[in-house]
Structure 1
Amino acid sequence: MEFVLLGGIAVLSGGGALDLGPARQRCVLAALAVDAGLVVSVNRLIDRVWGEQPPPRARATLLNYLSRLRLLLGDAGAGAAIVVRRPGGYSLQVERSTVDVVRFHDLCEQARAVDDEQAVVLFRQALELWRGEALTGVDGDWVEAERDRLHHQLLAAECDLTDVLLRLGHGEDLVAPLTTRAAQWPLDERIAGQLVLSLHRAGRTADALAHHRQLRAHLVEQLGTEPCTALQNLHQRILDTDPALTPPSAATMRTAITGAPAATAEKPIPRQLPAPPRWFTGRGAELARLDQALTAATVVISAIGGAGGLGKTWLALKWAHEQAERFPDGQLFVDLHGFSPTEQPMAPEAAVRRFLDALGVVPGRIPTDLDAQAALYRSLVADRRMLIVLDNAATAEQVVPLLPGSATCTVLITSRTRLPSLIDRHGAQHLRLDVLNRTEARSLLAARLGSARAAAEPGAVDELIDLCGGYPLALSITARQAATRPLTEVAAELRRLGLEVLDHHADPAASLPAVLSWSLHHLVDEHRTAFGLLGIAPGPDTTPPAVAALTGVPPARARKVLVALEEASLLERRPNGRYTMHDLVRAYATTIAHNLPDDVREAALVRAMDFHLHTAHSAARLLDPHHELHQPDPPAPGVHPFPLSDAADAMAWLETEHATLIATQRAAISLVRHDVVWHLACALDVLHFRRGHLRDGYASWRAALDAAAHLPDPVLRIRAHRFLGSACSRLGLDEVATWHLDRALDLAVRHRVPTEHAHAHRALMAASGLRGDDRQALDHARHALDLYRSLDHPVWEADALNAVGWFAARLDDFDTARDHCHAALALHRHHHNTAGEADTQESLGLVAHRTGDHRQAVDHYHQAVALLRNLANTYQVANTLDDVGHPHAALGQHDQAREAWQEALDLYEQQGRDEDAERAQRQLANLALATESIRPSDAS
């Protein structure tokens, strides 16, 4: 079976084409085949097949296509190729040699790594795979982009083959294809140079010079630039009529520099690369990125950034040794000591001097001025195919004098900072290094410990990977410690002592804290302090406004602090302007924080807590303006809550910051800030209820009840019991719920707080209803209604009216139910209480359904769902969708019922509501049986 992707998209089996069906299905196969053997996510497949505007049921359609492809491929090739489901997506499992695009890439890579004679054969084999336009028979935005990418790779291979042929002495035979290629790519300077040289070798020097003039005119007119240095040099050599096409003064220049006679002077070929790393594993994607950078441009400066201990130097050396044959004129290497425990960063003059020594320059002939030294260095490496590795750079100023001016050299730089000016001014391609993934981390430990030992203790290996977070230096340190100790013992010690286990006082290079500390040497005090405070800040990540509060500086300065820490690779910027630290870096930052004065540390935490508390409080007010919220104490001086514009903005902020808010409550417990603990529980309650975070709500109010015992206001204790009781009720903890709610009612009566008295009855009503005691629930609802009326609070009265109506309907007292619900609906609408209106529409839906008016029931339920979706109340959306399925089913609208119950089931499962999910599954199963049973009569 042959998968053709370069000259079409078809599947051939035994010489006959296999019918792949619709174009979209063919596109699915293409989307898998270009990444044969790799996992492609469902979202990426949808994007490749349909682009930015997929149809409403794109996922279902895609799965249908994949199912058909499995059958087609299985019938055609008896297992030669198969589409398989993998964690994270789908993969086309097929022999690599059967996919032309893979064969093409492999042959090109082999050709670039062998001598010229072999390269010609391999390049021609690769190019013979092309039979027309790539990916014919399919279309779409991704296909067009992929087709364009493949054709650029075709052009690169054709140009590489031409370079090889030119080095082997070809010329006249290349004129015709190069003329065609130059007409297609009139501004490509590489093709133009090849054509100029082939014309010159063919005896058509006048045509060669004319083509150079024509190209130069086009470049100046259309791009405002002169031809590149290599093309200008070739033009000059032709004018000099040098048949060897080498500068006639080269030998003279070597004599002047090295002091050796012209007849005997030879260019020294430095081989300065340190030994390749013995334990290097993984990093396939990063190595591939470096390969792409090398082939994508003539001059490549790849800056590898990342925190200390991530393996930047190892990656650079691994790649350099693998690609050494591409640099026959030598490799230069220097450690610039940008981040070192004992040495200052190396001066550029010292680094240039080392390179000049390696290039054979007589010491007495080396200029004293840095600019002159750099110019001499650039002259010596001009037109030589060399690799220059600049390791551990601190600043761009260290690096710039070491950059060659030749288009034939490649520079590889490692640094803990991004060196932005190199990216902006010199076109450096930044390759950010991250921690190892689980597979790579497991391979590293297996290499260090021995595969047999790693396989014998998989649980301990997995725990070490988790504890080290994939950090290469941490993994290496633990592997060293485990050489003479059981893995379980090392893991237990690391779990108990943390960063302390990864320290080594005698050898800083073998100590993760020491290696990380070197990144702080270049930071000012303000940035070091901020780094420490971020280590103890609550939450898994942070934002600039939160950092401004934590550090007590204006927002503009906070952003500069974050940029400085990001540039030092101590902080990572994530999408949507969020910043995070690796767990081990955070652990080190925590040690820095503990060196700060206690008052500085505590004041920072207080500011951070106040920022999150007051923003959460504002969010809760926007989400439920009719909810009774206690106002917390004013925030610490200089703390400004994040501005929220509307309810949607408030819900988005609460959801995004949920983990941080939970962590803030825990931090407030540690700092004995009981008021913050209580107020955060209250502010988070609307999110926890509407999103169905039942266990988070329980834990939050459990902490709030403990805090309320230390607060003077008895109302706070009453509310904590009430909210905790409600949280227990939703979790099915009926006995605990009843105890807390009865306690809230008793305290409200004892302290004569009529509002809490009413609220307690309403909470008891809800709890009674959840456990199925509708009669008792109705009694509590009536008590609440009487109390709310005496308080002259119309929204609360409307809530109680609706509650009476709901439970009256459940007890088949439909007249009472209608009267109370219509009265509630009028009050809710008058006071613009959307949440109450949604509840009441649901109650009216129940009344209509139970009295046989199923169409009216559907209308009420759908109105409720629409209102609840606007409130982002997915907890009650699930309940109402569950309810609306029944009148749909009663009306014979089975598709609508199935859709409602399926969405309800999905929400129940997301919210961990197991009993509700089981009920929804039973309803779907019964619906399926009912649908099957009526099909014969429908057909007849």
Structure 2
Amino acid sequence: MLRFEVLGPLRVLRDGLEVDLGPAQQRSVLALLLARAGEPVTIAEFADLLWGADPPSRAVNVVHRHVGAVRRLLEPALPPRSTGRVVGGAGEYRLTVAADELDLTRFRRLVTRGRELAAQGRLADGLALAVDALGLWRGPCAGGPEALRRDHPSFTAVDRECAAVAREAAEAALYTGTVHPVLPTVLAIADLFPLDEALQAQTLLLLEAGGRRAEAVARYERVRARLADELGTDPDAELRQAYDEVARRGGPVDPAAGPPARARVAEEPAAPLRLAGSLRPAQLPPDLPVFAGRDEQIRHMARMLRSHRTRTAMPLLAIDGLPGSGKTACAVRLAHLLADSCPDGQLYVDLQGFHPSDRALDPLDVLGCFLDLLGVPDRAVPAALDARLRLARSHLAGRRVMIVLDNARDVDQVRHLLPGSADCLVLVTSRRRLDGLATAYGAHLVTLDVLPADEARRFLLARIGAVAPADDEALDEIVERCGRLPLALALVSGRALEHPGRGLADLARELRAAQGTLDGFASHTIQTDLRAVFSWSYRLLGEPAARLFRLLSLRPDREIGLPAVASLAGLPVRRCRELVGELVHTGLLTRAGPGRYRSHDLIHAYAGELCQEHDAEPVRRAARRRLHRHHCRHLGDTVEASATRGR
């Protein structure tokens, strides 16, 4: 029988006897598999653990060799090429362990049950299970002198998870007056997270309640000095309040007197075990009163994020898509659906990555706002970006907070705002596909296209069905002239609601009259005017890409291959590939397949308007001639190839 221990120095016991786990790299591979508790680990993650940013050329082979050695170590009698505990496939491996074989899974099971009991009002029983869980903790995850990297995200995530439980258990112990069973482990974990001010505050109160007031005062002074040296800040309000409580009591507490006054809060204990009141931000914009379309996509994203909750990595979803494809509405809808899984609050910010001001929000300022919402006084907010990020992560550690980062410009803007806690959930929207978030943080990426025709019809009917008589033919025409783009559909439905006397046929007639332009989609507000919305992407382009975007409106078809793009622009294919990539990154062009691209009808119309305005007729005529010659050459090559095959 095998038992695995990763809540401290790595150990494997077979029938009660410790197994020699081999050299350091092999031990590290096993430790990462165990820290992920049955979840897959990619080859890239193994390489990052073993060599950091400088893996050798043979890294993949070395990882495979170490995994093979781990497999033989755990199951020496396993026949070659058999599937055992270590399962591989698609560039990743996972280790299958039963729930009672691994201390980490036993820890989580005890904590979950303890929180359930606390939520039922059985706080003492819940605390007893939390104490049992903390009894499994022997030190930093996969720690020990032979550990190659203690700072790997999978290990630190487990450590933060233990710190959150220690903080909850400390609060519950103060409330119930049962201090001594939790104090040793809480002290040890608090030493591991000296800048976690919420944990340090609970530790001070535990020490004072256990008759160790001098030790509490000395700890406060050490933490205060370290905050000043490393973050340039003073202790936050919670830590100062805890210290004031210790100073006011001035001596040991009589257990019969009950818990400190600060811990006497609501009669109903909250779940999880945390009882001390704290500000719970609720920053989500209101959900749309009528939401239609993308139902299956939203359900899929919700399932994906809920299933991710079982992992040690932070659930992170990035939604990208065309301008006007409804990314924000989708993210807000999803956030409201998942809000109950984030009971400690929701933070929301429009990062203005694509905005009429052309000035995206600075992460430094955003972190300042977040810290304010989390209750950090202005004078305690550090000036440096990294210090603010560390402070925000400390306040979010162990809290189940949702963060919605709307309208991001790029990965660099987002990465400075990500929490370090796997308990948090992050939703990001951007016109750009943020592949870097998937690479660095394991983000789920979802791209929104235009609505399917039936969902677009439902979208319109849900909004205007009460004021416009049914007219299937006009409805279908409106849907197609809007290109099934949610923002365009919303504009048309808003117009119908403003003038309830007009029927669907009238709206279709207006759009028909404006064919080829965006005149039919003008709005009183810049946030919903299609020209303005598209312009926020256009203004981010360099001049060569902007010129190509305008010239692409001269092609008769919405889809085009890269060689044709090069002919139209009069540029080499390699240079056009770079410019097309810029258009794709800003959402003005989408990939239709290998080497092929397409634009939405309304974006195509916007490009045509700009081309008429900025490119003289001789320029447009020359571009059309180049494209015509390209098509003639391509047709000639096709005919010749066909004739050759027929001989």
* TM, length-normalised to structure 2: 0.62
The offset of 1:450, in angstroms, is: 2.4
Alignment CA distance shift 1:504-1:209 (3 Å): same
Give the Å deviation of 1:597.
Answer: 1.6
Is the 1:234–1:245 contact (alpha carbons within 8 Å) kept by the matching residues of 2?
Answer: no
Aligned match of 1:467 = 481
1:249 aligned to which of 200, 208, 212: 200
Q: In 2 relative to 1, CA 357–202 (structure 1 residues): closer, same or farther, beyond 3 Å?
A: closer
In 1: Cα distance, 2:133 partner to 2:351 partner: 48
Distance 1:257 1:387, change over 3 A: same
Q: 2:237 aligns with which of 255, 258, 270?
A: 258
**What is the match of residue 293 of structure 1?**
305
Specify whether residues 227 and 513 from structure 1 end up closer, same or farther in structure 2 by C-alpha distance, changes over 3 A only.
Answer: closer
Matched, 1:168 2:116: yes
Q: Is the 8 A contact 2:510 2:520 kept in 1?
A: no
Q: Post-superposition shift, 1:586?
A: 1.2
- 8 Å CA contact retained: 1:347, 1:398: yes
Q: Which residue of 2 aligns with 1:570?
A: 588
Q: Secondary structure at the match of 1:523?
A: coil
Partner of 1:370: 385
Partner of 1:754: none
Counterpart of 2:425 in structure 1 is 410
Q: Tell me the equivalent position of 1:500.
A: 518
Offset at 1:313? 0.8
Question: In 2 relative to 1, CA 369–208 (structure 1 residues): closer, same or farther, beyond 3 Å?
Answer: closer
Picking from 589, 603, 606, the partner of 1:585 is: 603
Call closer, same or farther: CA 1:505–1:451 in 2, change over 3 Å.
Answer: closer
User: Equivalent residue for 2:361?
Assistant: 346
Counting only pairs closer than 5 Å after superposition, residues 452-851 of structure 1 correspond to structure 2 as 453=468, 456-483=470-497, 484=499, 485-498=502-515, 499-504=517-522, 506-595=524-613, 596-625=615-644, 647=645, 834=646
TM-superposed CA distance for 1:491, in Å, is 0.1
* Deviation by residue 1:276-314 (Cα, 9 ceiling, x = unmatched): 122321212321332203422441221111122111111
Deviation per residue, 1:838-868 (Å, 9 max, x gap): xxxxxxxxxxxxxxxxxxxxxxxxxxxxxxx
Closer, same or farther in 2 for the Cα pair 1:591/1:321, shift >3 Å? same
Q: Deviations over 1:891-933 (max 9, x none)?
A: xxxxxxxxxxxxxxxxxxxxxxxxxxxxxxxxxxxxxxxxxxx
1:428 Cα offset (Å): 2.4
- 1:273 CA drift (Å): 0.9
Q: Distance in 2 between matches of 1:158 and 1:492?
A: 66
State how far apart, in whole Å, the 1-side matches of 2:329 and 2:359 are: 22
**1:359-438 counterparts in 2 under 5 A?**
359-438=374-453
Paired residue for 2:71? none
Please name the residue that 1:190 is paired with: none
Contact 2:107 2:133 in 1 (8 A): no
* More displaced stretch, 531-540 vs 243-252: 243-252
In 2 relative to 1, CA 548–223 (structure 1 residues): closer, same or farther, beyond 3 Å? farther
**For the structure 1 residues 577 and 198, does the alpha-carbon distance in structure 2 shift closer, same or farther, using more than 3 Å as the test?**
farther
User: Is the Cα contact below 8 Å between 2:559 and 2:592 reproduced in 1?
Assistant: no
Residues 849-890 of structure 1: CA distance to partner in whole angstroms, max 9, x if unpaired? xxxxxxxxxxxxxxxxxxxxxxxxxxxxxxxxxxxxxxxxxx
**8 Å contact from structure 1 (residues 216, 227) kept in 2:** no
| Residues 1:322 and 2:333 are matched in the alignment | no
Preserved CA contact (<8 Å) 1:307 1:516? no
Aligned residue for 1:274, secondary structure, equals coil
**Amino acid aligned to 2:492:** T
Per-residue displacement from partner, 1:565-598 (whole Å, max 9, x unpaired)? 1111111112233111111111111112212121
- 1:208 deviation in Å? 5.6
The answer to whether the aligner puts 1:274 opposite 2:285 as a matched pair is yes
**Alignment deviations for residues 765-808 of structure 1 (CA, whole Å, 9 cap, x no partner):** xxxxxxxxxxxxxxxxxxxxxxxxxxxxxxxxxxxxxxxxxxxx
**1:224 Cα deviation after fit:** 12
Structure-1 separation of matches of 2:322 and 2:376: 36
TM-superposition CA deviations, 1:640-675 (whole Å, max 9, x none): xxxxxxx5xxxxxxxxxxxxxxxxxxxxxxxxxxxx
- Structure with higher Rg: it is 1
Instruction: Say if 1:546 and 1:611, in contact at 8 Å, map to a contact too.
Output: yes
1:228 matched to which residue of 2? 155
- Cα shift at 1:522: 0.9
Report deviation, 1:199. Answer: 10
CA deviation string 1:41-77 (max 9, x = no partner)? xxxxxxxxxxxxxxxxxxxxxxxxxxxxxxxxxxxxx
Letter in 2 for 1:306: G
Cα gap change, 1:163 to 1:591, in 2 (>3 Å): farther
Structure 1 residue 209: deviation in Å? 3.6
SS at structure 2 position matched to 1:490:
helix
Alpha-carbon offset, residue 553 of structure 1: 1.2
The structural deviation recorded for 1:390 is 0.9
In 1, distance between residues paired with 2:459 and 2:201?
A: 48
Q: Measure, in 1, the Cα distance between the counterparts of 2:435 and 2:157.
A: 27
**Cα 1:412/1:226, change in 2 over 3 Å:** closer
Q: Is the 8 A contact 1:502 1:513 kept in 2?
A: no
Contact 1:503 1:514 in 2 (8 A): no
What's the CA shift for 1:160? 8.7
Q: 1:161 to 1:516 in 2, by over 3 A?
A: farther
Cα distance in 2 between the residues matched to 1:567 and 1:366: 35
How big is each residue's C-alpha offset from its partner over 1:246-266, in whole Å with a ceiling of 9 and x where there is no partner? 875144689921376225584
Instruction: Please list every run of 5 or more consecutive structure 1 residues that lacks an aligned counterpart in the other structure.
Output: 1-144, 146-151, 171-196, 626-646, 648-833, 836-940
SS in 2 for 1:305: strand
More helix per residue: 1 or 2?
Answer: 1
Counterpart mapping for 1:915-926 below 5 A: none
Distance 1:334 1:202 in 2: 37
Distance change >3 Å, CA 335–CA 233, structure 1 → 2: closer
| Residue 607 of structure 1, CA deviation | 1.1
What is the CA–CA distance in structure 1 between the aligned matches of 2:183 and 2:334, rounded to whole Å? 39
Q: Does the CA-based 8 Å contact 1:502-1:512 persist in structure 2?
A: no
Q: Give unpaired runs (5+ residues) of structure 2.
A: 1-88, 90-95, 100-104, 119-127, 167-181, 191-197, 203-219, 225-233, 246-261, 263-275
Pair 1:445 & 2:460 matched: yes
Q: C-alpha offsets along residues 408-430 of structure 1, whole Å, 9 cap, x if unaligned?
A: 11111111112333232232222
Number of residue pairs aligned between Structure 1 and Structure 2: 448
Distance 1:444 1:586, change over 3 A: same
Deviations 1:418-474 (A, max 9, x none): 2333232232222111111122212211121125845x2222111111211211111
Which TM-score applies when normalising by structure 1? 0.44
Q: Does structure 1 conserve the Cα–Cα contact (< 8 Å) formed by 2:405 and 2:414?
A: yes
Q: Which of the residues 331, 343, 353 maps onto 2:346?
A: 331
User: How many Å separate the matches in 1 of 2:344 and 2:188?
Assistant: 19
Provide the C-alpha distance between the structure 2 equivalents of 1:521 and 1:266, rounded to a whole number of angstroms. 46
Distance 1:615 1:162, change over 3 A: farther
Query: How far did residue 503 of structure 1 move?
Result: 3.7
The separation in 2 between residues aligned to 1:199 and 1:389, in whole angstroms, is: 31
Give the distance between the partners of 2:389 and 2:187, measured in 1 at CA: 31
Distance 1:571 1:546 in 2: 15
Q: AA paired with 1:617?
A: G
> Displacement of 1:526 after TM fit?
0.8
Structure 1 residue 358 displacement after superposition: 0.9
Answer whether contact 2:160 2:421 (CA < 8 A) is retained.
no
